[in-house]
Amino acid sequence: MRRLAALLAAAALAAAARGEPAPRPEGVEVARRINARDEGRHVSRTARWELVDRQGGRRTRETRVFRKTDAAGKRSVLFFLAPQNLRDTAFLTVDFAEPGREDDQWLYLPAARKVRRVSATDRGESFLGSDLSYEDVKLETQVGLGDYRWTTLGEEEVDGRACLAVEAVPVDEKTARELGYGRVLLSVDAELWMVRRAEYWDPGGRPLKTAHLTDIRLVDGIWTVHRVEVANAVTGHRTILSFHDVDYASPIDDDLFTERALVRGVP
């Protein structure tokens, strides 16, 4: 036995001397690298949401989305362009950089013509009837670093790209309930530090949904996902989210992230 250990140690030393790859990064390090990726200080884009039910019935929503990040945090505003019954509905979120401070959210409903302050604790709720949650949409391609315990499980290939398989488990039951997830398995592109595929389980351990992120292209020098397909294992419902007219270059006025802008509608 002592002879076997000596042989393994010698082999390890020899591998290091040959310059072989460093050990896989820890799960939390992967999560940090995902969140450190450049997402642009501001971006505007059109998002098309296709909602497909189990029978194949299809509904479409079109939204225009603006996001701006600064030292105070991240502000996002979304305006509905279509369909007609949702047109001019608008949603504003302020995600404060200050740790522990809850988001602020406002909703403008054209039928009431009023901006309504809404609770930001609905992180796990369906966003616009889609298979994405409010938290999924807020984070975009980032991850909730402090919400999970992270473990790198291994390596795998997704869409022909080398990925790290990372498991994320909510830090406690309360967080799991809020998020609606009991476990998430992420396939993270090891070069771009972008999630390419994600599998979700509910807090009871049952398979919930899978997300597949594709059509990743450089826009204004920033790697950008243009298609997200989410399939819900429980309802058979699917959401296909596609992005168009992505623009990181044009500046966005701070006035766009105000109640007044919600009422006025998409610029």
Binding site for another protein (CB under 8 A): 51, 53, 57-60, 83-85, 87, 102, 104-105, 110-114, 116-122, 124-126, 128-131, 235, 237, 255, 258-260, 264
Looking only at the bridges linking them, the beta strands covering 238-247 and 42-52 are antiparallel
Nearer to another protein, 22 or 85 (CB): 85
Nearer to another protein, 92 or 169 (CB): 92
- 143 — phi, psi (to 5°)? -130, 160
Nearer to another protein, 11 or 97 (CB): 97
Q: How many CA atoms lie within 13 A of 19 on its CB side?
A: 0
Residue 143, exposed/middle/buried by CB under 10 A (0-12, 13-18, 19+)?
A: buried
Give residue for tokens 């505003």.
77
Minimum distance from residue 132 beta carbon to another protein (Å): 11
Nearer to another protein, 33 or 177 (CB): 177
Two tokens at 27? 């799960």
Residue type, 89: T
Two tokens at 96? 């404060």
Minimum distance from residue 28 beta carbon to another protein (Å): 28
Minimum distance from residue 100 beta carbon to another protein (Å): 13
Give residue for tokens 């250990």.
5
Nearer to another protein, 59 or 244 (CB): 59
Asked if residues 66 and 74 have their Cβ atoms less than 8 Å apart, the reply is no
Nearer to another protein, 121 or 215 (CB): 121
Minimum distance from residue 29 beta carbon to another protein (Å): 32
Minimum distance from residue 58 beta carbon to another protein (Å): 7
User: CA separation (Å) from 95 to 23, 73, 98?
Assistant: 35, 6, 9
Minimum distance from residue 243 beta carbon to another protein (Å): 20
